[in-house]
Amino acid sequence: MTRPYVVTNVTIIDAVRIIPEGFIKVKDKKIVAVGEGMPPPEDGWDRIDGQKKTLMPGLVNTHGHTPMTLLRGISDDLPLERWLNEKIWPAEAALGDESAAAGTALAIVEMIRSGTTCFADMYHLNWEGTAVLTEESGMKASLARGMIAFGSKQAQREKLKTAIDYAKSCQTSTSGRLRGAIFPHAPYTCPLEFLRDAKAKAEEAFLPFHIHIAETRKEVNEHEAKHGLPPVAHLLEEGILTEGSLAVHAVHISDSEITGLKENGVHVSHNPQSNLKLGSGIAPLPQLLNQHIPVSLGTDSAASNNTLDLFDEMRQAAMVHKGLQEEANATDAQTIVKMATVNGANTLGFSGAGLIAEGYDADFIFINSDQAHMIPRINYGTLVYSASGRDVTDVFVEGKPLMRDGRLLTVDEEKIRHEAMDTSARLFAGR
Amino acid sequence: MTRPYVVTNVTIIDAVRIIPEGFIKVKDKKIVAVGEGMPPPEDGWDRIDGQKKTLMPGLVNTHGHTPMTLLRGISDDLPLERWLNEKIWPAEAALGDESAAAGTALAIVEMIRSGTTCFADMYHLNWEGTAVLTEESGMKASLARGMIAFGSKQAQREKLKTAIDYAKSCQTSTSGRLRGAIFPHAPYTCPLEFLRDAKAKAEEAFLPFHIHIAETRKEVNEHEAKHGLPPVAHLLEEGILTEGSLAVHAVHISDSEITGLKENGVHVSHNPQSNLKLGSGIAPLPQLLNQHIPVSLGTDSAASNNTLDLFDEMRQAAMVHKGLQEEANATDAQTIVKMATVNGANTLGFSGAGLIAEGYDADFIFINSDQAHMIPRINYGTLVYSASGRDVTDVFVEGKPLMRDGRLLTVDEEKIRHEAMDTSARLFAGR
């Protein structure tokens, strides 16, 4: 696919418009034209027939921990604290860099298959390996070395230094498909001094700052008891959450904290399935959207979801508030598509991606819309309420195909599946 | 498949047990043996290799309106009343028996593809045609003629008579794969006198009684204003909801009504996605389960869901209460599997189906569990939190294959998809 090409006969949907029958032209990694009907033939261009397909932007997953894909299903139906203390942390203690890589590779297969072209990842093992695997796969990612700062000051300093170095190296990757971020785990796992230091170092290096925050009621109550303010209000006051920072989860937040997020230009990664499944709660999505806060979608890890399928995440994000508020228009499908595409791309620092528009990166997917469960009409609702990641047939990033007709082109899927099974069997027999 | 056969090398999961590597033997429509490991070879038996597959009971959908599949996506993000008055009822006015049949056929394709072997259906058009299509497809169903009783007494009597005759004819179908039910639409669309009469006639004919009830807060408030009691309490007092009756939705019900349902042996069809999507509310599933009320799952129509995929329904049923109660163990995956299989079969009158056990009907499906999003472990959580209807590869009812390796064997899928598209384009151009 080094020649330019045109995709024809295809339904095009992005966050701003639907073209029932249109085309896009792709050249030098970019979408160079989008239109209705059939374009005039052009010499030297290849042609991809999109008949019976729907073309949409690749999905963007703004929160996850790819190595934990190996822990999928190890601990269902347990509350967050027991989930962490009894199951996840003991299991993680058995992971090393190599097994973490097996999990990341599996996550990459699952993400490409389900139409994700760009993801955020944070983990405390094998972070450099994750960059390599991502580059090889052809995906885009915002990557961070995980930091839980319970150790000595010296250990904390070293952790932060490697995190900064790693993030910088991602920012300057030769492919240009990586970004780096500074991601201290959470206010309850990192002392305030560490968060201040991490924020200062991130600013010095022009690196974005991500943090899990206000995930559970317990976290919020304990933070408030200790610091006199709930965590979001506190980190806003401290200047730790600032313009472009990413607040992950933000489940238990007050109206005044929502206003604070808005006034300070903070982004939110909404992870509804993980929040529900762990019993953490239900984030105030409609209120965040009403304030025009840039909210995107994350799956969190497959250990608390249990998939990395952003179509499932879209459906859940759209569904729950309708029932909760007893208002069917509490959320709308078009806004949800925006969250899963262009909002996510902007949040992760890929501002030229997430729309099917001239000048945007050619990050797009095909969905097979000629299936019983999507008939008889294609609209935003089809993507949010009917489609699944399993309906994705083709995935392109910067014009390059990562999957065609259900076949992965940049990774050895069968080998990756076997390694994941073997690694899991070896480390977690009986779990 | 007239010879008996054995399925080997397969992971078996039903509501009561998991066999990591086992077999089942199928003869004369029944499962005649289930075991671990490999069975001894037997002369004259065929063999199906289940390697890399998970075998589970066919799913049972206890509430729906198949002709409305044509209305999928016609009206998203609108509240129930506007959804009905502005979109659905005008669209339904354009439907006739033939277009209703196109919707039912499409629903059957979607249901088989997503692993449903048995469903409930109620509609006011083409009910006899639905019985024919169901028989031809090889599925099982509990069928009812839809009754909204706003007309004259004479019209009401005639409606009820055809409903009784139709339900009786289903009960005595030659295949034995049909049941009939009496299903007046709801307390707010049928006068009390009509409900009493329908119940009396149903009892005379030994027919089950189904009704939509307590779906929205508005319905409950208006019913209480008119009759002095909320609808469930009222219909229990009237003796209209009795042993084996099916209360569909039951979203807005009090603790004393839950006790009433329990004491009277009433079943509940839980339709979480429809209830969420229409903004109707969230039914008290954990409280119903705590009282050991037989709760099953329904998708409702694809116009309010927007799929007929019971895997999606399982996930939603399991997810929402964890977040709402902030308790990750508010629901558990094994119970959800029970709701979607054996509870559903019992509720619809197929008491010998819904388990993978000796003597049970051979209604089972295969899931391709050798996929990235289901690796690395197979358990109840895999079915509820990771799997999708799109993962189903094979479907058998009473031992007969309806789908093998993703190919439908009893219906002409392509023709059905085309007819659905054409019918929709003709009736609803621009909608």
Taken in order A61, A64, A67, A68, is the CA torsion positive or negative? negative
Cis before B306 (ω within 30)? yes
Out of A72, A372, A380, closest to residue B109 by CB: A372
d(CA B371, CA B390) in angstroms, rounded, equals 12
Between the alpha carbon of residue B397 and those of residues A223, B112, B146, B310, B387, the distances in Å are 56, 10, 26, 17, 21
Nearest CA-CA distance, residue A67 and chain B, Å = 12
Q: Note the ipTM here.
A: 0.96
Mark yes or no for CB contact B77/A331 under 8 Å. yes
d(CA B11, CA B366): 9
Residue of higher predicted confidence among B184 and A429:
B184
Q: Rounded to 5 degrees, what are φ and ψ at B62?
A: -90, 10
Higher pLDDT, B22 or B84: B22
Interface test with B, best of A21, A54, A72, A77 (most B CBs within 10 A): A77
The Cα diameter of chain B in Å comes to: 69
Taking residue A268's Cβ as centre, other Cβ atoms within 10 Å add up to 30
Helical ranges in A264-378 per DSSP H: 272-277, 285-290, 310-325, 333-338, 344-347
User: Does B376 contact A425 at a Cβ distance shorter than 8 Å?
Assistant: yes
Question: What would be the CATH architecture of the domain defined by B60-347?
Answer: Alpha-Beta Barrel (3.20)
Report the C-alpha gap between B321 and B251 in whole angstroms.
Answer: 13
Distance to chain B for A129, nearest Cα, Å? 20
Task: Give chain A's radius of gyration (CA, Å).
Answer: 21
Give me the residue from B78, B390, B391 closest to A329, CB to CB.
Answer: B78
Q: What angle do CA A345, A389, B117 make, to 5 degrees?
A: 160
Rounded CA separation A361/A398 (Å): 5
pLDDT confidence of residue B430? 67
pLDDT at res. B40: 87
CATH topology of domain A5-58+355-408: Urease, subunit C; domain 1 (2.30.40)
List own/partner pairs for A203-207 with CB under 8 A and 24 or more apart. Answer: A205/A164, A205/A167, A205/A168, A207/A164, A207/A167, A207/A168, A207/A171, A207/A180, A207/A181, A207/A182
Contact A385 B306 (CB under 8 A): yes
Sign of CA dihedral A257, A262, A265, A268: positive
CA of A189 to nearest chain B CA: how many angstroms apart?
A: 21
Q: What is the CATH number of domain B5-58+352-408?
A: 2.30.40.10
Please report which helix (H) or strand (E) contains residue A225, including its range. helix A217-227
Question: Mutating which of A75, A112, A277, A326 best tests the B interface, going by the most B Cβ atoms within 10 A?
Answer: A326
Compute the average pLDDT of residues B11-19: 98
Q: Measure the CA–CA gap between A396 and A73, rounded to whole angstroms.
A: 30
Tokens representing B320?
Answer: 């929402």
Which chain B residues have a beta carbon less than 8 Å from that of A423? 376
Selecting from A78, A386, A416 the residue whose C-beta is nearest the C-beta of B72 gives A386
Evaluate if residue B30 carries a pLDDT over 80. yes
Contact A413 B370 (CB under 8 A): no
**Tokens representing residue B127 in the block:** 């009910």
Are B323 and A279 a contacting pair at CB < 8 A? Answer: yes
Assigned token pair, B184 = 């007046």
* Spans in chain A with pLDDT lower than 70: 1, 430-431
CB nearest A323 (choices: B70, B281, B375): B281
What's at B343, amino acid-wise? N
Q: Say if the Cβ atoms of B420 and A379 lie within 8 Å.
A: no
Query: Nearest by CB to B73, which of A279, A326, A382?
Result: A382
H or E segment to which residue B30 belongs: strand B30-36
The residue-averaged pLDDT of B344-372 equals: 97
Binding residues of A for Zn(2+): 63, 65, 212, 300
Contacts of B311 in chain A (CB under 8 A): none
Chain A residue closest in CA terms to B421 = A376
For chain B, the average pLDDT equals 96
Distance CA A43, CA A25 (A): 13
Q: Do A390 and B386 touch (CB under 8 A)?
A: no
Per the annotation, binding residues of A for substrate are 92, 145, 185, 215, 300
The per-residue pLDDT for A359 is: 98
The answer to whether B320 and B276 are in contact (CB under 8 A) is yes
Closest among B226, B263, B225, B261 to B246, alpha carbons compared: B261
For residue A78, the model assigns a pLDDT of 84
Q: How far is A255 from chain B (nearest CA, A)?
A: 19
On chain B, the residues whose CB falls within 8 A of the CB of A329 are 77-79, 279
Q: What secondary structure does DSSP assign to B318-382, as a single string?
A: HHHHHHHHT-TTSS-HHHHHHIIIIIHHHHTT-TT-SS-STTSB--EEEEE--SGGG-S--SHHI
Element (H, E) at B213: strand B210-213
Amino acid code (one letter) for B163: A
CB-nearest to B424 from A281, A377, A381 is: A377
Residue ranges at the known binding site of B for substrate: 92, 145, 185, 215, 300
**Burial readout B97-113 (b: 16 or more C-beta within 10 A, e: otherwise):** eebbbbbbbbbbbbbbb
pLDDT level of residue B252 (50, 70, 90 thresholds)? very high
Q: Is B29 left (phi over 0), alpha (psi -120 to 50) or beta?
A: left
CA-wise closest residue to B146 among B35, B262, B63, B263: B63
Neighbours of B43 (CB within 10 A): 4
CB contact under 8 A, B322 and A80: no
Give the separation between CA A417 and CA A420, rounded to whole angstroms.
5
In angstroms, what is the C-alpha Rg of chain B?
21
Measured CA to CA, the distance from residue B354 to residue B13 in angstroms comes to: 11
pLDDT band at B78 (very low <50, low <70, confident <90, very high): confident
Q: Is the dihedral of CA A237, A240, A242, A246 positive or negative?
A: negative
Pairing label, strands B246-249, B267-270? parallel
- Check B279 against A329: CB less than 8 A apart: yes
For residue B79, pLDDT over 80 is answered with: no
Instruction: Please name the residues in contact with A280: beta carbons below 8 A apart, sequence gap of 6 or more.
Output: A80, A215, A216, A249, A251, A274, B323, B326
List Cβ neighbours of A30 (8 Å cut-off, separation of 6 or more).
Answer: A359, A360, A361, A362, A398, A399
Tell the CATH superfamily of the A59-347 domain: Metal-dependent hydrolases (3.20.20.140)
Pairwise CA distance, residues B130 & B101, whole Å: 7
Cβ-Cβ contacts under 8 Å between A and B: the total is 225
* Residue numbers belonging to the annotated binding site of B: 63, 65, 92, 145, 185, 212, 215, 300
Q: For residue B25, give the nearest of B402, B13, B40 by alpha carbon.
A: B40
Which of A49-53, A211-215, B38-42, B163-167 has the lowest average pLDDT?
A: B38-42
Q: Compute the distance between CA of residue B205 and CA of residue B179 in angstroms, rounded to an integer.
A: 13
* Domain extent listing, chain A: 5-58+355-408, 59-347
Q: What is the pLDDT of residue A296?
A: 98
Give the separation between CA B366 and CA B209, rounded to whole angstroms: 33
Q: Of A326, A328, A413, which is closest to B78 when you measure between CB atoms?
A: A328
Chain B interface disruption, residue of A18, A52, A69, A76, most B CBs within 10 A = A76
Cβ-based contacts of B327 with chain A (< 8 Å): 79, 279
- The closest alpha carbon to A309, from B388, B310, B309, belongs to B388
**pLDDT tens string B112-133:** 999 999 999 999 999 999 999 9
Contact between chains at B306 and A382 (C-beta distance less than 8 A): yes
What are the residues facing B23 on neighbouring strands?
B35
Contact (CB<8Å) B389/A373: yes
Q: Which of B316, B371, B390 faces A319 most closely, judged by CB atoms?
A: B316
Binding-site residue ranges of A: 63, 65, 92, 145, 185, 212, 215, 300
